[in-house]
Structure 1
Amino acid sequence: MPDHDDHGDTHGSPLFDEPAAAAPARPRSSGGRRRGRRRSGCLPILVVLTIVVVGGWFFVRSIDLSNPFADGPAEDFPGPGSGAVTFTVSAGDSISVQARNLADLGVVASSAAYVEAAEADAAASTIQEGVYQVREEMKAADVVDLLAGGTTRGASFTFTAGKTVDEIVGLLVQDTDVTRKQLNAALADPAAIGLPEAAEGSAEGYLSPGSYVFFPEDDAVTILSAMVARSVQTFDEVGLAAAAERLGYSEHDLVTIASLVQAEGSLLDEPGKAKIARVIYNRLEIPGNPSAGFLQLDATVNYVLGEKVAKLTFAQIDAVADSPYNTYKTKGLPPGPIATPSADALEAALNPAKGPWFYYVTVNLRTGETKFATTPEEFSVIEAEFDEYCATQSDRC
């Protein structure tokens, strides 16, 4: 708060008003009147100072229950509390900072109660940074015990867009206490994990990427439900249902297209992804186009193969010729998503760029530089550029 010290001009004030020149001698009583003027000037100042001090004392009492003038114990909940609240202790957080944050979350009734409980418990000094699961309306001393014990400290789990369900399961098995068997059992029960009806029973593409905090007591259903719930929230935010009606596709189709865009253009920004989405729509919608309705996407073949090959061979394509995910052999969209899409990929699928393109080639796998073409002749040129790149960067191709 800015410091507003008021150094007013005292010239002309009754307290300092002295004659400019020597005055004639006066009776002694006139000196008494000058002293009287000083007292009348000081009295209002003393009154104001008294009001400020007393008012400040009452103000402090009203906002800080832990001040020395407070009467009685600080406000506290009886406990044990209910619900679940995620609480983070960051590096360097003092007891007072923890107290304020806990009070803001409704975990403790007042910051003063937590400070008092922490000061009375030597174990409070052992509280470590991390993420904890607490409850609303807990007794302050119980919160100190819980945080100091560290028994409910959560673990952060993060994965990026473009992962398949199988890849996500593998990461969860590695970083949490759940087993693959438990996760697969939860995935087999779409209702238990909250999969929307549009998902048609498969979680592929419906486990939202990002960071999560999981606790030791969280089971497979709880973990997967959190990921599905975040996807549903993202779908609502981007307006998936309205876009499906506007574009003439099902919601599941649009999630599938977003997953294709993600897999094919993971290194591109949203405008670049929107151009890939346009190629997909053009191949699906424009009669007599050069691809004859075949998407011809390497990413869908890689999905079946369980690979991530930048340049497929004819033998690899033919090896999965019967799969509906082989978009070189089957027209139209594959049966469902092939990876979890990012928000950018979803936006691109819902709002494709305008353009006449039927082809694209990522000509630099390090930077993600992608070029677009309308005719087979133009496509041949950029494909040759990619071949040249692979000739010198074989480790990437």
Structure 2
Amino acid sequence: MMDLTDLPGAVEASQRRRPPRRGRTVLVLTVALAVAVLGAVLAWSTLGPVVARLTASDDYDGTGTGTVDVRIVQGDTGRAIGERLQEADVVKSAAAFVRAAAEEPRSSGIQPGTYRLRHQMSAASAVALLLDPGSRQTTRLTVPEGLTVAQVLDVVSKQTPIPREELEAALQDPALGLPPAANGQAEGFLFPSTYEVEPDSTGLEVLQKMVQQSTAVLAQLQVPPERVREVVIRASLVEKEARSPEDMARVATVLENRLARGMRLELDSTVNYASGGEKITTTQEQRDSDSPYNTYKITGLPAGPIANPGEAALRAVLQPEPGPWLFFVTVNPDTGETRFTDSYDEHLRNVEEFRRWLRAQES
């Protein structure tokens, strides 16, 4: 057979049928590159935000701006606090707060209360402010022992922003939670103590805390429900008549001894409660008044508590000091010196010493 490649015409025909390979390769590469770039763009538009979230810090930088109040409640864990702060945009994430708190040994001492913090703080800065007493917006309300309900309301309205009218309305609210022994009256059941009052606390919430504390202390002292009213009444008398725990235990004994003998208690404190008086003595007119609280005229305990007793007075009633005493008088109100006796004649001499103290005050 003849070798056609030797013919010039055949060679030219063969060359015309061959495609230009270099141009086609460049085109393929260009298309492939365009597809790859487009794929990368599409992939990054989808995965970019995910990558950014995975690589971004979950904590803010710096000490933040503005102010925001956040309330930490009793029983909040570190995670719960972190979630409250994250919700208020104080910290960027609860996880960052938990880590920062774990690195600060004092963080276990964060107390319940309302704190003034800042927006978008670093977690470490938030922990530092929660440990700063100056950040707490909580008011410390101190209610002394022996105050009447009216006096307690005065103290609360002076130490907090809560109006007295709101407190008076709260006394009538069934949600106050008075025990059955209170007979619907708060007197004797607003426990004297120090309370934390949040900026948004209502009058009802504040008085509820006092009633709840009273109930808790009575339960702790194991006062039977059927004795609660009697014990609180006696403790209120002890609270008003004595200063020291030792004298309280003796006054409780005097009350017990006189009641056991059918003697009138004859206490000026109950007469003052009935008349609204505030002096340490009473007048004959006051002692002649017809009142269920006038222990110069009635036999037995007054109709109800005359003040809000503290724990020491309650303990004194439950554990009175054994003794024969039937009379007592504070001979020196400045020092609180009180004399106890079972002799009426000796009691009269003690009363005369008290009168000398009174005259000295007038001169």
Partner in structure 2 of residue 85 of structure 1: 73
Read off the aligned partner of 1:218 and give its amino acid letter.
S
Deviation at 1:141, TM superposition (A): 6.2
**Gaps in structure 1 of 5+ consecutive residues:** 1-70, 76-81, 88-101, 117-128, 245-249, 288-292
Partner of 1:329, secondary structure, is coil
The structure-2 alpha-carbon separation of the partners of 1:105 and 1:221, relative to structure 1 and needing over 3 Å to count, comes to farther
Deviation at 1:328, TM superposition (A): 0.6
The structure-2 alpha-carbon separation of the partners of 1:366 and 1:153, relative to structure 1 and needing over 3 Å to count, comes to same
Could you tell me which of 169, 180, 186 is aligned with 1:185? 169
Measured against aligned partners, the alpha-carbon deviations of 1:365-392 in whole angstroms (never above 9, x if no partner) come to 0111100111221211111111122221
Cα distance in 2 for residues equivalent to 1:141 and 1:85: 22
Deviation at 1:176, TM superposition (A): 1.9
The structure-2 alpha-carbon separation of the partners of 1:74 and 1:281, relative to structure 1 and needing over 3 Å to count, comes to farther
After superposition, residues 68-217 of structure 1 pair within 5 angstroms as 84-85=72-73, 107-108=81-82, 111-113=98-100, 132-133=113-114, 144=126, 153-189=137-173, 191-217=174-200
Contact 2:71 2:113 in 1 (8 A): no
1:264 corresponds to 2:264: no
Cα distance in 2 for residues equivalent to 1:376 and 1:344: 28
Cα distance in 2 for residues equivalent to 1:130 and 1:231: 23
Read off the aligned partner of 2:187 and give its amino acid letter.
E
Contact 2:113 2:196 in 1 (8 A): no
**Gaps in structure 2 of 5+ consecutive residues:** 1-54, 60-69, 83-94, 104-109
Measured against aligned partners, the alpha-carbon deviations of 1:255-285 in whole angstroms (never above 9, x if no partner) come to 00000000011x22x2211110011111111
Contact 2:114 2:137 in 1 (8 A): yes
Contact 2:330 2:339 in 1 (8 A): yes
1:323 corresponds to 2:323: no
TM-score by length of 1: 0.61
Cα distance in 2 for residues equivalent to 1:214 and 1:312: 37
TM-score by length of 2: 0.66
The structure-2 alpha-carbon separation of the partners of 1:281 and 1:315, relative to structure 1 and needing over 3 Å to count, comes to same
1:346 corresponds to 2:314: yes
Partner of 1:205, secondary structure, is coil
Cα distance in 1 for residues equivalent to 2:345 and 2:249: 23
The structure-2 alpha-carbon separation of the partners of 1:162 and 1:152, relative to structure 1 and needing over 3 Å to count, comes to same
After superposition, residues 1-40 of structure 1 pair within 5 angstroms as none
Greater than 4 Å deviation, 4+ residue runs:
71-75, 102-106, 139-143, 145-148
Cα distance in 2 for residues equivalent to 1:352 and 1:72: 69
Read off the aligned partner of 1:208 and give its amino acid letter.
F
1:226 corresponds to 2:194: no
Contact 2:189 2:308 in 1 (8 A): yes
Partner of 1:307, secondary structure, is coil
The structure-2 alpha-carbon separation of the partners of 1:234 and 1:394, relative to structure 1 and needing over 3 Å to count, comes to farther
Identical pairs, percent: 35
The structure-2 alpha-carbon separation of the partners of 1:360 and 1:103, relative to structure 1 and needing over 3 Å to count, comes to same
Task: State the aligned residue count.
Answer: 273
Cα distance in 2 for residues equivalent to 1:386 and 1:174: 35
Cα distance in 2 for residues equivalent to 1:179 and 1:303: 24
Deviation at 1:114, TM superposition (A): 5.3
Read off the aligned partner of 2:348 and give its amino acid letter.
S
Contact 1:157 1:214 in 2 (8 A): yes
Max Rg structure: 2
Contact 1:205 1:341 in 2 (8 A): yes
Cα distance in 1 for residues equivalent to 2:275 and 2:186: 19
Cα distance in 1 for residues equivalent to 2:79 and 2:254: 48
- 173-182 vs 354-363, which moves further: 173-182
Partner of 2:195, secondary structure, is strand
Partner in structure 2 of residue 333 of structure 1: 301
Partner of 2:81, secondary structure, is coil
Partner in structure 2 of residue 25 of structure 1: none
Could you tell me which of 291, 295, 305 is aligned with 2:275? 305
Deviation at 1:181, TM superposition (A): 2.1
Contact 1:74 1:113 in 2 (8 A): no
Read off the aligned partner of 2:247 and give its amino acid letter.
G
Partner in structure 2 of residue 276 of structure 1: 251
Please state which structure has a larger fraction of its residues in helix: 2
Read off the aligned partner of 2:331 and give its amino acid letter.
V
Contact 2:187 2:308 in 1 (8 A): yes
Deviation at 1:316, TM superposition (A): 2.9
1:392 corresponds to 2:346: no
Read off the aligned partner of 1:281 and give its amino acid letter.
E
Cα distance in 2 for residues equivalent to 1:232 and 1:84: 25
1:253 corresponds to 2:230: yes
Contact 2:78 2:101 in 1 (8 A): no
Deviation at 1:294, TM superposition (A): 1.1
Cα distance in 1 for residues equivalent to 2:165 and 2:220: 33
